[in-house]
With several copies, the nearest count.
Chain A
Amino acid sequence: MKVFLDNCRTTRVLPEVAAVVQQYMVDKFARPDGLYESAEEIYDDLVSAREFFAKSINADSPEEIVFTSGATEANNLSLLGIARANKKNGNHIVISALEHGSIMSIADALKKEGFEVTVIPVDKEGFVKLDELKKSIRPSTIMISVISVGHFVGSIMPLEEIGKIVKSQDHKIYFHTDAAEMYAKLPVDVKKINCDLMSVSGHKFHGPKGVGFLYIKKGTKIQPVMYGAESFDKRRPGGENIPAIMGMKKAAELSFLNMEKALKELRRLQEYFINRVEREIDHVILNGPRGETRTPYNVNFSFSFIEGEAISLGLSMEGVEVATGSACASEKLEPNYAILAIGGDHERAHGSIRFTFDRFTTQEQIDYTVEKLKSVVSWLRKISPIKSHT
C-alpha cells in the first residue's frame, strides 16, 4: 500500500485538472495577445479565470489578481514589492515566527536593503501572540506578513484579529498573508481578514506546479520584482502560463465543490488518527493545537527517544510518505524552527513527524499508517540508547 501523507509539500494533480492543462497545451495553445481567432478565445478564458479567482476570495475586482509562478514568487512580489515601493513611509516589517522559508529568506534580503524586521513569537500551540504583534508596531512599520496556516504545526492563525489590529493603526500598514496552505483548503475571504495581499500556490490543492497568484488590493503601492513585455499585468511580466492557470482554476473549482462535507470528513479522520496514535503509542506529543483552530489537513507528532529521519525512512519503506522536523533531515542539520518556536526543544524537533492529508485521504490509509507507525516506532525505540521509555 502506498500512502502519501506529505500533501503540505505538494499534491497530486487530479486527472480532471491534468486534462484541462493538456487541452491548453495541445489545442488552445495560442497566446492571448495574438490578433487572431484562436487568441481571442484564450484571452476570454484568461479573463474568466481572473474573475473566478477574484470571486473565490471575495475580492472586489479581477484586476486585484496577479498570476505568478507560485507562492514563492507571490511572496517575493509582495514583500519586496511593498517594501521597496513604500520605503519612504518607513523601513520596518513584521513577520511571524512560523512563516514559510521563502518569507524568512525574503526578510533576510530586505534587511540587507536597509529594512528592519521584527519576528513575532507564537504561543505553545503555534498562534501568533497578538499582544506582541501590537507592541511591535511602530510609526515606521509599513508591512505585516503572517502565514495563514502554520505549515508545520497546523495552527490556523487569527487572521481576522490581526487584520483588525493592522486596520486600527493611524498609519497605513500593508497586511500580507501567505495562504498557500489555506486557499482552496479552507474557506478564505479577504474582506473578513482585511488583508491587502494574499499569496496562493496551485500545487497545494491538486493543481499544477509552477503557478499561483497574488491578491493585491486596489490602491496598493507595489513595485514589480521583474520587468518585461507581453503581459496582462505590469506587476508581473512575461507570457501568462495559461495551461497552468486554467488547470489551477479547475483544481480550485473541484476543491470548492462540497468543501464543507470534505472538511467534516477530514476532521473526523484527523481526530481518529490523533486518538489512535495517542492511545496506541507511548510518549508522543502532539505539536500544534487541537480542535477547530487546527487545520484538518495536518497532524504533527513528536515521538520521544527516536529520530525523525529514521522514522520517515522506516515508514517510506512501508509505503508511507511523510515529513520530519529532525535536524538530521535538514540540509543545514538544524532542528525544525517551527517546533522550536512553539517551545519545543531539540529533542522534540528531532522526533517530529508531520502527516499532511489531502481531501482524498481514507480511513484505510490512516489505519495502515498507524500500524506501520507503531512497528517503526517500537523498532527504533528498541535500538535507542535512551532508556527512559522502558
Chain B
Amino acid sequence: MLKYTELVLDHFKNPRNLGKIENADAEATEGSIACGDMMTVYLKVEDDRITDIKFESYGCAANIATASMMTEVVKGLTLEEAKKLNWKEIVERLGGLPQVKYHCSNLAVDTLRKAIKEYEESLARK
C-alpha cells in the first residue's frame, strides 16, 4: 500500500510548472520508457540563474509530485545553488514519500542536473 501525504497528492493533482518551454536554453530527459520512469526538464537561464523551469513526466504520482516540487524549489536559484539540491530535501519538503518511491525524487534531481549540464555544455560550445 502506497501512502502519500496531502502535499504529494496536491502536487500530483496540480503540478506546478508543468509543460514545455518553447525555446528553452536547455532540455534534458532522464529515464526510459522501458523502465517506466521518465522525465523531461526545460530550463530558461539568465545570468546563471534559473528564471523559468518546466517539466513533463511519464511516471507515477511520486514522479509527478517530486518533479513539481523540484521545479518550485529551484526556480530563481543560481545554477550552482540548483546543483546542490538533493533528493532528500525534496522528500522532506513533500512531507515524506514511501521508501520505495525515493528513486522518483532521485530522478527529478538527476534530470535537473542533466539539464544544467546540458546548458553549461551549450555555453561552452558557443
Contact = CB atoms under 8 A, between A and B. Distances in A.
Q: Is any CB of A less than 8 Å from a CB of B in the complex? A: yes
Interface string B1-20: 11110000100110100110
Given A40-B3, A383-B15, A385-B29, A328 B56 contact: no
A384 interface: yes
Interface stretch (B34-42, B43-51, B73-81): B34-42
Nearest to A232: B1
B61 A309 contact: yes
Given A33-B1, A35-B2, A328-B36, A310 B100 contact: no
Given A310-B12, A317-B13, A383-B57, A43 B3 contact: yes
B12 A333 contact: no
- Interface magnitude class on chain A: 20 to 34
Contact of B61 (A34, A40, A313): A313
Interface stretch (A120-128, A167-175, A345-353, A354-362): A345-353
Q: Mostly helix, strand, loop or mixed at chain B's interface?
A: mixed
A335 B35 CA distance: 9
Interface size grouping (class) on chain B: 20 to 34
A32 interface: yes
Contacts of A345: 34
Nearest to B15: A383
B34 A383 contact: no
Contact of A328 (B33, B34, B37): B37
Looking at B1, B12, B39, the one whose CB has the most chain A CB atoms below 10 A away is B1
B33 A329 contact: no
A305 interface: yes
A246 interface: no
Interface of A: 32-35, 39-40, 43, 305-307, 309-310, 313-314, 317, 326-329, 331, 333, 335, 345-347, 350, 382-386
Cβ-closest 10 pairs across A and B = A385-B56, A328-B60, A385-B40, A309-B60, A43-B1, A350-B36, A313-B61, A384-B58, A346-B34, A327-B36
9 contacts: A307-B63, A317-B13, A326-B60, A328-B37, A382-B18, A383-B57, A384-B56, A385-B38, A385-B57
Interface of B: 1-4, 9, 12-13, 15, 18-19, 29, 33-40, 56-64, 100
